């Protein structure tokens, strides 16, 4: 049972969409990240923020998620 709780290596699906390459990263069927590699320009990531299919764009390297908090407000 304990081994079922530990996620394995991600399943990566790579496909070409027009002028860009899309890499989808899944663990246990859950799509948690999408890497978009345009033919011109820098690659970027779409990272899942919940299980409802909502993603945010992240231009950070793999595994680096910078937290952001509101400290002051006028």
Mean pLDDT over residues 9-24, rounded?
93
| 16 band by pLDDT with thresholds 50, 70 and 90 | very high
Q: Write down the domain spans for the chain.
A: 2-58
pTM higher than the cut 0.85: no
* CATH number for the domain running over 2-58: 2.20.130.30
Q: What is the mean pLDDT of the chain?
A: 78
- State the DSSP H helix or E strand holding residue 5, giving kind and residue range, or none if neither: helix 2-5
Specify the residue for token string 């081994």: 3
pLDDT of residue 1: 46
Q: Give one DSSP letter per residue of 48-67, joined into a string.
A: ESSTTS-EEEE-SPTT----
């Amino acid at each position: 049972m304990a081994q079922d709780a530990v996620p394995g290596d991600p399943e990566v699906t790579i496909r070409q969409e027009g002028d860009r390459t899309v890499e989808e990263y899944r663990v246990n069927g859950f799509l948690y990240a999408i890497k978009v590699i345009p033919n011109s320009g820098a690659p970027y990531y779409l990272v899942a923020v919940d299980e409802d299919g909502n993603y945010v764009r992240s231009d950070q390297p793999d595994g680096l998620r910078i937290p952001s908090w509101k400290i002051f407000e006028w």
